Amino acid sequence: MNGETGNWQRVHPASPFVRGWLALAALFFFFGRDAAERLLRGGPVFDERFAGRAPWLLLGGGTMLLLVVAGFVLSWYFTRYQVAGGFVRVTTGVLVKQHRQARLDRVQAIDVVQPLLARIFGLAELRFEVADAGQSAVHLAYLRVAEARRLRAEILDAAVRDAPAHAAAGPSARGPEAQRPGVQLDAQFAAGPAGSAAPAAPADPTERPVLAVPPRRLAGSLLLSEQAVVLLLGAAASVLLSALTENRSFSFYLVPAGLGILAGFWASFSKGYNFTAATSPAGIRLQYGLLDTLAQTLPPGRIQALRISQPPLWRPLGWYRIQVNVAGYGTPGQDGERSARTTLLPVGTLQDVTALLDLVLPEAAAAQPGATKPGATNTGSPDANAVLIAGLGGLAPAARIQAQRDTRHTTGNDDGGFTTTPRRARLLAPLGWRRNGFAETGSALLIRTGRWWRHLTVVPHGRTQSIALHQGPVARRFGVVDLVLHTTSGPVAPRVIQAGLAEGRALLLAQAARLSPKTQPAGNPAGDPQEGPQHG
């Protein structure tokens, strides 16, 4: 069709029917309903009245069926794809032709999606994401599962091979384990420590399982989520109101609300079911889903920002949730699938969190906070844990120690290096002022917020797009500023709230210096002077 070398291929011939099964089902329903109704009423399938119309009905139905099928077949025939020469190309369209090509080294994520029907037929959809925050750049539906996996491996191989010259390799390039012989095919990706839980053997032999979320924990996390609390409170309130007013109608309002929440539970459960995370040379691989399954692959350095959260009811159980910003996935909104795709961990223990953090942002937590902390000459991992623990659950010391802390907050303290809201602004956030704060590590900025709903946001320096200081009239009275970090769109919106004016200014300047490569423009993409000594 055009002068490109290499072989163009078509997606699986069954795919138009799998995609358009709803239209076919509607057609059969429309024409089959009449006959079925008669059958149910006990009449014969073909009575006299029907026999007269039968030829016309059959003709009409046959024509429509033929048109629909012909449309499917035409769209299938004119959809062709090719992976060659560093590009993936797709042409579609019968009348209006569309030719799309995307560079393999610009891949942000690759997903293999299997809706239920496609799973039955052994088919899968391949989605290729680039950084445009909209819908998938390229999606091929449907391929045989083996073919989809092969294509994914091919694309990722090309992407990882091309990456070193490109800044996108980012801060997750070199890790201490890269030299270890074994599963690594490529030193690009530093695999983290294997978790204690060992999920079932993956299909891809290069994958190494890291963690799995047991279904019981997932169910528990849903039962202890905010929606469950709302449901219980609503039920209690309506029962109480019914008892007090002797009016039954309150329970009627409860039924649809309860059904909606239950449907939400079911969606969350079926999305998060059988969640496993694994490492492969090409990146992190997440797989999950009960009916529709999805396997995501995130090449190294593609995570733009990350947030670890803990609702209050999860605290006694020590569970956390991780959400990420990935360029190309966009903002989740109401779309259940997108919110599942931006979830790195639906529910997990502290051990799972550290294992995943080691994988996706190996240096984020591995460098000591501040610049001049004594005693950080060893591996740095105890420090990393201290920062993480302080970020997840820490509080600044209360009043008496605070005064003495203010004078030497850079030289180390017992709060993991977090700088919190100054005491003078405690009226602005009576609960959160000891909690809201930030800590700088060699490769990322850690922001913690929330006393009840705890959040810890991690933004790698190399992934921040721009920074802004904000201050309104009330904040000025208390001498505090907000610092906003802009990253690609997603569920995580990093914001340091109510930092002291001097600290905020200093942080702005320090971050600005970290964002810009000071040395050779192309040599050190992460642009961080601390990075070398950490792993050299």
Partner 1 sequence: MPTEAIDPPGISWLRVSPRYLTARLLGWGAEAVLVTAALATPLALVLAGTWRWPPLWFAVALPSAYLLLALWRLVLIPRQVRAVGYAERLDDLLIRRGILFQRTLVVPYGRMQYVDIAAGPLERALGLCTLKLHTASAGTSAVIPGLPASEGARLREQLTARGEARLAGL
Strands in 303-310's sheet, in edge-to-edge order, are: 343-348, 320-326, 303-310, 454-460, 444-449, 437-440, 419-420
How many other β-carbons are positioned within 10 Å of the β-carbon of residue 196?
10
Q: How far is the CB of 262 from partner 1 (least distance, A)?
A: 35
What is the C-alpha end-to-end distance of the chain, expressed in Å? Answer: 52
> What is the token pair recorded at 502?
């001097």
How far apart, in whole angstroms, are the C-alpha atoms of residue 484 and residue 469? 6
Q: Pick the closer one to partner 1 by CB: 363 or 503.
A: 503
Q: How far is the CB of 106 from partner 1 (least distance, A)?
A: 8
How far apart, in whole angstroms, are the C-alpha atoms of residue 494 and residue 491? 10
Q: How far is the CB of 487 from partner 1 (least distance, A)?
A: 6
Helix (H, G, I), strand (E, B) or coil at 212: strand
Q: How far is the CB of 428 from partner 1 (least distance, A)?
A: 16
Q: Pick the closer one to partner 1 by CB: 255 or 512.
A: 512
Residues near 490 by Cβ (< 8 Å), separated by ≥ 6? 304, 305, 323, 324, 325, 326, 329, 330, 331, 332, 342
Q: How far is the CB of 317 from partner 1 (least distance, A)?
A: 34
How far apart, in whole angstroms, are the C-alpha atoms of residue 447 and residue 467? 14
Give residue 232's identity as a one-letter amino acid code: L
Q: Pick the closer one to partner 1 by CB: 20 or 517.
A: 517
Q: Pick the closer one to partner 1 by CB: 225 or 443.
A: 443
Q: Pick the closer one to partner 1 by CB: 256 or 473.
A: 473
Q: How far is the CB of 85 from partner 1 (least distance, A)?
A: 20
Q: Which residues bind partner 1 (CB under 8 A)?
A: 108, 131, 133, 166-168, 327, 462, 464-473, 476, 481, 484, 486-489, 493, 501, 504-505, 508-509, 511-513, 515-518, 521, 525, 527
Q: Pick the closer one to partner 1 by CB: 196 or 466.
A: 466
How far apart, in whole angstroms, are the C-alpha atoms of residue 443 and residue 463? 10
Of 525, 530, 322, nearest in space to 440 by CA: 530
Q: How far is the CB of 467 from partner 1 (least distance, A)?
A: 5
Of 106, 108, 103, 107, nearest in space to 325 by CA: 108
Q: How far is the CB of 11 from partner 1 (least distance, A)?
A: 29
How far apart, in whole angstroms, are the C-alpha atoms of residue 458 and residue 447? 6
Residues in the chain, overall count? 536
Q: Report the relative pairing of strands 343-348 and 454-460 from DSSP bridges.
A: unpaired
How far apart, in whole angstroms, are the C-alpha atoms of residue 124 and residue 293? 9
Q: Pick the closer one to partner 1 by CB: 150 or 518.
A: 518
| CA atoms within 13 Å, Cβ hemisphere of 348 | 29
Q: Pick the closer one to partner 1 by CB: 369 or 527.
A: 527
Residues near 202 by Cβ (< 8 Å), separated by ≥ 6? 209, 276, 278, 285, 287
Q: Pick the closer one to partner 1 by CB: 317 or 510.
A: 510
Q: How far is the CB of 359 from partner 1 (least distance, A)?
A: 20
